[in-house]
Chain A
């Protein structure tokens, strides 16, 4: 079966531009997670969705970051006015309560801000 997919796989953008990153979770997975992987900070948890709702947005690094999920499926992570420190690999994961909330990760989107 299909795993978690993310697009684009690579994104190069200029400082100050907005970017949208997309995540398609495994079909039927109700929970969806966004993480950021960077050399300096390792793997950081950003935000979690149960269905379309994100109960806690405190993990987002700044108010330039936002995320939404519609229809209980696809999610987008938007970064406004990108900065060089936003350069990282953004990972998405999904899980299902029937599987003990074991998280399955996508291949990531490598974002480079020039």
Chain B
């Protein structure tokens, strides 16, 4: 079955540091890939997505590129802020017209210190 593997953390960085959160996946088909974010006390929000190989999703300074050859979708940000502290989830969907739910990784807790 499908699966998503990501570093679990916590990952602690100083403000303005460079961020990478690794995500790799296993899927039977050709999935769409997502990063969701859960800020403290809030619900899950879609951060960015990519639906085909070599697509780059981007939002709020975060980027991730769909790499089919390495089955990866690593999340990056050039300069993190304290407000980026949250739990980040990598996810995939086989996308059979929406008939699949999302398969999530276990989440990475990111802590940014001032």
A35 to B91, CA, bound (A): 13
Indicate if the CB atoms of B49 and A102 lie closer than 8 Å: yes
Binding site for B on A (CB under 8 A): 31, 33, 35, 42-43, 45-48, 50, 55-56, 59, 91, 93, 95, 97, 100-108
Q: CB of B101 within 8 A of chain A?
A: yes
Given A45-B102, A50-B99, A59-B101, A101-B93 contact (CB < 8 Å) = yes
* Cross-interface CB contact of B99 among A35, A42, A56, cutoff 8 Å: A56
* Cross-interface CB contact of A42 among B51, B93, B100, B104, cutoff 8 Å: B104
Indicate if the CB atoms of B106 and A42 lie closer than 8 Å: yes
A3 to B100, CA, bound (A): 21
Q: CB of B45 within 8 A of chain A?
A: yes
Interface size on B, residues (CB 8 A): 23
* Cross-interface CB contact of B101 among A33, A107, A108, cutoff 8 Å: A33
Indicate if the CB atoms of B103 and A45 lie closer than 8 Å: yes
List CB contacts (< 8 Å) of B68-110 with chain A.
89, 91, 93, 95, 97-107
Indicate if the CB atoms of A43 and B43 lie closer than 8 Å: no
* Cross-interface CB contact of A102 among B46, B89, B106, cutoff 8 Å: B46
A contact residues around B93 at 8 Å (CB): 101
List CB contacts (< 8 Å) of B24-48 with chain A.
36, 42-46
Indicate if the CB atoms of A55 and B99 lie closer than 8 Å: yes
Most buried by B among A33, A45, A48: A45
Indicate if the CB atoms of A50 and B98 lie closer than 8 Å: yes
Indicate if the CB atoms of A101 and B95 lie closer than 8 Å: yes
Residue of B nearest to A103 (CB): B102
A contact residues around B51 at 8 Å (CB): 100
CB distance from A55 to the nearest CB of B (A): 6
CB distance from A33 to the nearest CB of B (A): 5
Indicate if the CB atoms of B44 and A48 lie closer than 8 Å: no
Q: List the 7 shortest-distance A-B pairs measured between CB atoms, nearest first.
A: A45-B101, A43-B104, A101-B98, A105-B44, A42-B106, A107-B43, A31-B98
